[in-house]
Amino acid sequence: MKIPRAIRHIATTRWSTRQHFPRAVRDAIEQAITECESRHGGEIRFVVETSFDVPELWRDLPPRTRALQLFGQFGVWNTEHNNGVLIYVLMADHDVEIVADRGIASRVPQAEWDAVCRQMEHHYREGRFREGSVVGILGVGALLGRHFPGTRPATTSCPISRCCCKGRDPSARLRSREKSRLFMTMRAHRPRRARFSAVGARRHGS
């Protein structure tokens, strides 16, 4: 366990996450996902997690490993053309992860994923969480639209879920403790990691 990281996670609260992602920002994210999915045949899920619990911190769980876990648990891989993409934000580590399934990852150069992350990172670093989230969604949507034009097949799961998932939503498989940590999940293997720092916070190195 890294003590500075543990302190940072303990100090990062759901209240602070809510301050960065108020209702207006969540509505903008939902709208961006909806608009994107009208122009491509892939799937985007946007997940924000506030912090880790002690067991994850004790193991020094990397954000990317957590993103890969959620990629599987939310069933982002379960698309007809293997073109689901997860955008994962871990507030305590000031970390952004993009995980793309093999159907889209094999068609997009790493530099293009990097460019999307840099745009998100730039806005988040300045405290513009609405703009950073939307630009990330639109960037991923543009990549999906280039290679998988059209619309995604209809789904019965709701486009936005704040850890209170119902019915057949894959997030129902999450443990209750994990659900309590996830601030919100929104729907619409090559991972990319980027780091950002909120206004007034020190930027953390890789």
DSSP 58: H
CB 42 within 8 A of CB 187: no
- Bigger pLDDT: 194 vs 129: 129
Note the pLDDT of residue 41: 87
For 53-67, 132-146, 185-199, which range has the lowest pLDDT when averaged over its residues?
185-199
The residue ranges of every structural domain in the chain are 3-188
CA 54 to CA 10: how far, in whole Å?
A: 9
Q: Which two tokens stand for residue 85?
A: 């993409």
Q: Which amino acid is at 18?
A: R
Q: Does the structure show a pLDDT above 90 at 48?
A: yes
Give me 114's structure tokens: 């990097």
Residue 170: per-residue pLDDT: 41
Q: Which tokens belong to 132?
A: 């950073």
- Give the model's pLDDT for residue 77: 87
pLDDT digits (tens, 9 = 90+) for 52-98: 999 999 999 999 999 999 999 988 988 888 999 999 999 999 999 99
The Cα–Cα gap between 177 and 184 comes to: 14
Q: What is the mean pLDDT of the chain?
A: 79
Q: Which residues contact 111 (CB under 8 A, 6 or more apart)?
A: none
DSSP 86: E
Single-letter residue type at 116: V
pLDDT at 189 over 90: no
Beta carbons of 132 and 88 less than 8 angstroms apart: no
3-188 adopts what CATH topology?
A: Diaminopimelate Epimerase; Chain A, domain 1 (3.10.310)
